[in-house]
Structure 1
Amino acid sequence: MKIEVLTLFPELVEQTGKHGMPRIAVEGGALQLSTRNPRDYSGNKWRRVDDRPYGGGPGMVMEAEPLARAITDARAELGDVRVIGLSPQGQPLTQALVEKLAEMPALVLVCGRYEGIDERFVRTQLDMELSLGDFVLSGGELAAMVVIDAVARLLPGVLGHEASAVNDSFSAGILDHPHYTRPEDWRGQSVPEVLMCGDHAKVARWRLKQALGATWLKRPDLLEGLALDKEKKQLLSEFIAEQNVI
């Protein structure tokens, strides 16, 4: 897979490919990560890519032309590509959407700065916009790095165990179950006995119940859109009853 980031700060984004799962993806050949600076397409000796907003107001706006020229070259070099703008006005990034992005051959992530990007570029050059949430960052670079990390870990051969991605929070529409490691007793708190019983069926049942319970406690909104089967309804009922007892 190829991911290119259109950014005024390529050195910032390039760090993503040097650490963690993105590094493994890059070194293993599953991901080709590159950057493109719109200043290289500015057409003026100052390499300026922003100007004052029509209608007045504070700040500057990124010009459409340098960005459009950069996108033209990116499409020519990458072929079948989806161009995505990182913006608080975009579609919320979810695990389901990340899984779809990971199946695409190439992505171009466009990072805005200043007060935003000329709307004419947004309307004509972007295939979609993505948002990390209802808050504002100084630019799209950090959001692009999040997308890269989330996508990279789903690429073939990147995770040490293929089941890791399947069991992640949100992959099944619910949160992940609790995790424990050594020592068995830590500051008076013990690992649940079921995890040491050696019965894989019991462990799987406990983990599913805890995942459903964690979702009920922390993100009940996720359960509203899920059609739980009989087993999951029973497990969730058991979890809720246990909380009431406590």
Structure 2
Amino acid sequence: MRIDIITVLPELLKSPFEASIMKRAIEKGIVEVYFHNLRDYTTDKRRTIDDYQFGGGAGMVMMIEPIDKCISKLKLERDYDDIIYMTPDGETLNQKMANTVSLQKNIIILCGHYKGVDQRVRDHFITREVSIGDYVLSGGEIGAIVFCDAIIRLIPGVLSDETSALTDSFQDNLLSPPIYTRPANYNGWEVPDVLLSGHFANIEKWREEKAYEHTLNRRPDLLDES
């Protein structure tokens, strides 16, 4: 997968891709990530990427011309499966979306700022709008990091155990069941006997029951979607 991220703050984005699972994916050659500074596509000495709203109102708006130039240049070089805009009013990121996008080959992610982008960008360039929650951040970069982490970890070869992602919370619309590790008894707090039994059918049944119970208690809305 190739990910091209359009941003006004490339320095904010780089660090997370130089550590942990995303770094491993890049080093293995499974994922390529490129950062494009939107100010490099401006024409004035001040490298302006925003302007006042038509009709008045508080807050600046990202201009269409630099975004057009950047996206158009990238599209001349390859085809893209999605051009994604990180915005609070987009579709809320969930596991189903992450699964879908993780199968794609090339994507562009545009990080919004200020009051957002000129509506014509959304009308003519963007194919998918994504939000990481019902709140507003200073810019789309942090959302882009979250989005990238969610999709990259699903790509085959990224995780050491590829089956691990299949048992994560939200796969099959269930939260994960409780998990335990050594020691089996700590200060009198014991691991459930079934997990120590070696009876894999019973263990799997216990996990399914606990996952359902956990979801029912914490996120019953997920069961409504099943």
Q: When the two structures are superposed, what TM-score results if normalisation uses the length of structure 2?
A: 0.97
Cross-structure match for 1:241: none
CA drift at 1:184:
1.6
Pairs within 5 Å for 1:173-184: 173-184=173-184
Cross-structure match for 2:16: 16
Pairs within 5 Å for 1:55-66: 55-66=55-66
Structure 1 segments of 4 or more deviating over 4 A? none
Cross-structure match for 1:196: 196
Asked if structure 2 preserves the Cα contact closer than 8 Å seen for 1:83 and 1:125, the reply is: yes
Task: Find the aligned partners of 1:186 and 1:78 in 2 and give their Cα distance.
Answer: 56
Unmatched 5+ stretches in structure 2: none
Cross-structure match for 1:132: 132
Task: Find the aligned partners of 2:195 and 2:63 in 1 and give their Cα distance.
Answer: 57
CA drift at 1:78:
3.4
Cross-structure match for 2:77: 77
Pairs within 5 Å for 1:30-109: 30-109=30-109
Identity %: 38
Asked if structure 2 preserves the Cα contact closer than 8 Å seen for 1:4 and 1:34, the reply is: yes
Deviating more after overlay: 183-192 vs 17-26: 183-192
Asked if structure 2 preserves the Cα contact closer than 8 Å seen for 1:14 and 1:34, the reply is: no
Task: Find the aligned partners of 1:78 and 1:177 in 2 and give their Cα distance.
Answer: 42
Amino acid at match of 1:2: R
String of CA shifts for 1:131-177, please: whole Å, max 9, x gaps: 11111111100010011101110111111112101101111111111
Asked if structure 2 preserves the Cα contact closer than 8 Å seen for 1:83 and 1:108, the reply is: yes
Amino acid at match of 2:149: D
Unmatched 5+ stretches in structure 1: 227-246
CA drift at 1:73:
1.2
Cross-structure match for 1:117: 117
Task: Find the aligned partners of 2:66 and 2:80 in 1 and give their Cα distance.
Answer: 21
Cross-structure match for 1:239: none
Task: Find the aligned partners of 2:57 and 2:38 in 1 and give their Cα distance.
Answer: 24
Task: Find the aligned partners of 2:86 and 2:135 in 1 and give their Cα distance.
Answer: 12
Amino acid at match of 1:150: A
Corresponding pairs, count: 226
Task: Find the aligned partners of 1:81 and 1:75 in 2 and give their Cα distance.
Answer: 11
Cross-structure match for 2:143: 143
Cross-structure match for 1:161: 161
Asked if structure 2 preserves the Cα contact closer than 8 Å seen for 1:85 and 1:109, the reply is: yes
Asked if structure 2 preserves the Cα contact closer than 8 Å seen for 1:16 and 1:149, the reply is: no
Task: Find the aligned partners of 1:153 and 1:225 in 2 and give their Cα distance.
Answer: 24
Cross-structure match for 1:229: none
Task: Find the aligned partners of 1:147 and 1:75 in 2 and give their Cα distance.
Answer: 21
